[in-house]
Structure 1
Amino acid sequence: MLKLNVKNETSRLKTLVLGTAKNNGPVPAPEETYDPKSLEHILAGTYPKEEDMVREIEGLAEVFRKYDVEIFRPEIIPDYNQIFARDIAFVIDDFFIKSNILPDREKELKAIQYVMDKIAPEKVITPPEEVHVEGGDVMLWNDHIFVGTYKGEDYPDQITARTNMHGVQFIRELFPDKEVREFDLVKSKTEARDNALHLDCCFQPVGRDKGIIYEGGFYRKEDYEYLVKLFGKENLFHITRDEMYYMFSNVFSIDTDVVVSERNFKRLNNWLRENGFVVEEVAYAEISKQEGLFRCSTMPLIRE
């Protein structure tokens, strides 16, 4: 049996689910996309090739093996995108919470059924139908849970809106002893540079007291200011609109002092090293064309 334990984003990682790019299927038609960045690359003819994405994700797996992390992979569904494991479920404390994801993606959960079978059944939570909540929007910071959401009245028409206020309320009720704070995110169906698909596209803690943040991803200035006050401005690495587009905030922590980052993120990687982090640089630029990076393709199950 797996004894789940995830209380923050940065404690020493022991066990996770890592997505797979194998048998990824053909390039989607423009109308099949869920985000503006994938659409942009489909229209430009630069959508990533399967062999490049497989190479990138296996490079990430290699880093996890170096740190003795136990890795589970989804069972392969032919011609199907299974890269972004974070979307389909996530762990808070010792609960495994399924996301009510887009109906087309329910197969992805079935592909990790063998992992769920290793978890005590009472610890596996299926939210009610009206609750939408995806792992990329749920950020743990010890006694805090940060949740990205979208409050616009056009929520049903916004394919980039992934977590609703029912989702926020559901997390609040499940974890009454934690400080649950929601953040209204800026969304765009057409311009990837103005679309915070999930909270981890514009914010993520690193280490014990630091974080990466993009002010323009927050719809309300007071949400951004709340995080600045909580972490301290000097502890936050501020990214630009272009850096947000390339997903600088979507790194992944293996430990409080070890961060996996894209090898092209020079400005960020220098800052991390200056602040005492070991930076494991991995090529992930092709996968990022689908508006997802390291955090999106990982689902931590156990941290120390």
Structure 2
Amino acid sequence: MLRLNINDEISRLRSVVLGTAESCGPVPSPEEAYDPKSLEHILAGTYPREEDMVREMDAFAKVFEKYGVKVYRPEVIENCNQIFSRDIAFVIEDKLIIANILPDREKEVEAILHVLEEIDKGHILRPPAEVHVEGGDVMPWNDYIFIGTYTYDDYPQHITARTNKAAVEYIAEQFPHKKIKSFELRKSKKAIENALHLDCCFQPLGKGKAILHKNGFLVEEEYQWLVDFFGRENIFEITPMEMYQMFSNVFSISPEVVVSEQGFVRLNTWLREQGFQVEEVPYSEIAKQEGLLRCSTLPLVRD
């Protein structure tokens, strides 16, 4: 049996589900776009090609291999985009929560049944239908669980609003011993302003550091809470263009090792100055779908 264990974003990774770009289907129509950035690239004719995305994910898989991480991959569903495994489920402590995601994507959960079968059924949670949640909005951080949300009345009008108030309440009920800290995120039809998930504008790192983007947060006090929590001197503040490019969506294999996109020169330089080992991979094609390295992973076990 697989003994799940996730308490933070940075402890030494032992096993992970990494999505797949194989058979991800034709270029979607504008009406089929789930997010403003994909829509931009569909309209511009620059939507990523399958072979380029497969190559990028293979580079990421090689980094996991280098560090001895056990990697599970979803079964390939024909003509289905299965890159972003973080959306379909996430782990907190020893529980795996199946996300209630956009209905069109439910078959993606079926593609990881071979992983779920290795987990004690009592450790798999399926939230009720009114709970809308995606893993990109949920970050276990020691005593805390950080959750990105959008609770305004126009929630149903935003295809970019993925985690609702019911989700915050549900997670609080499941983990009563944790401190739940939720953050209202900015939702927009303009990709450069839209924080699709919490990990699009915030990412805690090892060594007490964090990446942050102020404009991703709707409530300044909530942004300020994170600044005070980590300390201004420990924060790498990203620009609107860097948020658009997904600078905060890096992935930690351990407190010292961060996987980052090779084009993030300003960030990667800073990370190395802080003493991190930076593993650079090409991921700029996948980024066109408003997701990057953290979005492509579903960590199962960290030490």
Query: Which TM-score bucket, shorter chain as reference?
Result: over 0.9
Corresponding position: 1:261 with 2:260: yes
Alignment of 1:104-115 (within 5 A): 104-115=104-115
SS of the residue 1:212 aligns to: strand
- Amino acid paired to 2:227: V
Distance (Å, rounded) in 1 between the aligned partners of 2:177 and 2:80: 39
Residue 157 of structure 1, CA deviation: 1.4
Paired residues in the alignment total: 303
CA distance in 2, matches of 1:9, 1:208: 12
Q: State the distance in 2 between where 1:140 and 1:266 align.
A: 28
Measured after TM superposition, the shift of residue 300 of structure 1 is 0.1
TM-score calculated relative to the size of structure 2: 0.99
Q: Partner residue of 1:198?
A: 197
Shift of 1:156: 0.9
1:279 counterpart SS class: strand
Distance 2:292 2:233 in 1: 25
- 1:208 deviation in Å? 3.7
Q: Which residue of 2 aligns with 1:245?
A: 244
Match of 2:212 in 1: 213
**Distance in 2 between the 1:143 and 1:223 partners?**
18
Counterparts of 2:258 and 2:44, CA distance in 1: 32
Flag structure 1 segments of 5+ consecutive residues without an equivalent.
none
SS of 1:301's partner is strand
Q: Post-superposition shift, 1:83?
A: 0.1
Normalising by structure 1, report the TM-score. 0.99
Could you tell me how far apart the structure 1 residues matched to 2:37 and 2:169 are? 30
Aligned mates of 1:248, 1:26 — CA distance in 2: 27
SS in 1 for 2:192: helix
Shift of 1:130: 0.4
1:96 corresponds in structure 2 to 96
Q: How far apart, CA to CA, are the structure 1 residues paired with 2:152 and 2:159?
A: 12
Partner of 1:46: 46
Partner of 1:135: 135
Correspondence 1:286 to 2:285: yes
- SS at 2:52 equivalent: helix
Q: Secondary structure at the residue paired with 1:255?
A: coil
Amino acid at match of 1:48: P
Amino acid aligned to 1:301? L
Structure 1 runs of 4+ off > 6 angstroms?
Answer: none
CA RMSD of aligned residues (A): 0.5
8 Å CA contact 1:10–1:208 kept in 2: the answer is no
Instruction: Give SS of 1:300's match.
Output: strand
- Tell me the CA shift for residue 209 of structure 1: 1.0
Q: 1:78-128 CA deviation, whole Å, 9 max, x = no partner?
A: 011000000000000000000001111000000001100000000000001
